[in-house]
Amino acid sequence: MVDRLANSEANSKRIALVESCFGAAGQPLAIPGRVLIGEGVLTKLCRKKPKARQFFLFNDILVYGNIVIQKKKYNKQHIIPLESVTIDTVPDEGELRNGWLIKTPTKSFAVYAATSTEKSEWMNHISKCVRELLQKSGKAPTGEHAAVWVPDSEATVCMRCHKVKFTPVSRRHHCRKCGFVVCGPCSEKKFLLPSQSSKPVRVCEHCYSLLMSAGLGPRSDSITLPGSNFNNNTLSDDEDEDDSSD
C-alpha cells in the first residue's frame, strides 16, 4: 500500500501542504518514496506543562511542531528519523490519559492522545513503520535512548539530595543522563553524551559517578560548571526548546 502511494499525486499534494504550513523556516519534506501516513494533534508533555502539538507520521520520519493556526500554520519544526524510535505505553495518571513514550537516542518524551482508540492507531502505525524500515535496512533496533525529562511540576525539591527546595534563586536543572530534576550543586558536572550533543551536557553527580566508573572517564570533555547554583536570566542549557517561548 505504501509503495503504491509513494508516487501518487494525492500523496505529493498532502506533503506539499505540510511543507507550506511550516513555511520557509521548515525543512523540505518531499523526497522519493516518502509517504504521509497520518496526522493529528497530540499533547506533548513538555518541561513546564503539557502542550498541544501537531504531529505528522511519514513512513520514514515523525514530524511535529507548534500550532500557530490549526491546519494552516505551524512553527518550530522537529524531524525524528523513525529508524531510531522506540515506543512504550504510559499508564493513565489523573488527567493525563492515553499516553506513550517516544524514545530516541537524542531526545525522548511522552505524548497523549484524545482517546484510547487514537492512541492504539498511532502506536500501531508507528511500530509498523519502524519495523518495515529496519527490515529494509537490515539494522538492529536502537538500544540506547535519551532519558525522558521529569516535568518541573513533579519536583519541589532536588531529586538527588532531597534537601534543596526550588525557588526563583535555587532553580531547577535536568540531568541529561537520567532526566531527574536536580539542584545546581548536584549537577555541577558536564559530560559528553555523543548521542545527545556534540558538546558536554549537564549531568547529576550520581550519573557522573556511574559514567566514570563505567570507564568513560576521566576525560577532557568532562567539566565542572562554575556558579551553577545561582539564578540568571539568560537561556540556559536546561531550556527545553518547546518551552523557550514561555
221-230: per-residue pLDDT in tens? 455 655 443 3
DSSP-derived 3-state class of residue 188: coil
* Residue % of the chain over a pLDDT of 70: 85
Q: What's the pLDDT at 225?
A: 57
Residue with the bigger pLDDT between 80 and 215: it is: 80
pLDDT reported for residue 70 = 85
CA nearest 197: which of 81, 102, 105, 65? 105
Q: Given pLDDT bands bounded at 50, 70 and 90, which one contains residue 190?
A: very high
Regarding predicted confidence, which is higher, 222 or 14?
A: 14
Choose which CATH entry (3.40.50.1820, 3.30.1180.20, 3.30.40.10, 3.30.420.40) describes domain 152-214. 3.30.40.10
Q: Reply yes or no on whether the pLDDT at 238 is more than 60.
A: no
* Predicted pLDDT at 123: 98
Give span(s): CATH 2.30.29.30, the chain: 1-137
- CA quadruple 173, 179, 185, 189: dihedral sign: negative
Cβ atoms within 10 A of the Cβ of 113, count?
A: 21
pLDDT tens-place string over residues 119-173: 999 999 999 999 999 999 988 888 889 999 999 999 999 999 999 999 999 999 9
The model's pTM: 0.83
Give residue-wise pLDDT tens across range 28-64: 999 999 999 999 999 999 988 999 999 999 999 999 9
CA gyration radius, the chain: 20
Separation of alpha carbons 33 and 4, rounded Å: 10
Q: What is the pLDDT of residue 217?
A: 57
The band of 3, judged by pLDDT with boundaries at 50, 70 and 90, is: low
User: Within 10 A of 10 (CB to CB), how many other CB atoms are there?
Assistant: 9
Residues of the chain with CATH 3.30.40.10: 152-214
The amino acid at 47 = R
Q: Which CATH number fits domain 1-137: 3.40.50.10800, 2.40.30.10, 3.40.190.10, 2.30.29.30?
A: 2.30.29.30
96: phi then psi, degrees, rounded to nearest 5: -85, 105
Question: When comparing pLDDT for 239 and 11, which is higher?
Answer: 11
Instruction: Compute the average pLDDT of residues 77-105.
Output: 95
Give the model's pLDDT for residue 115: 97
Residue 4 is predicted with a pLDDT of 57
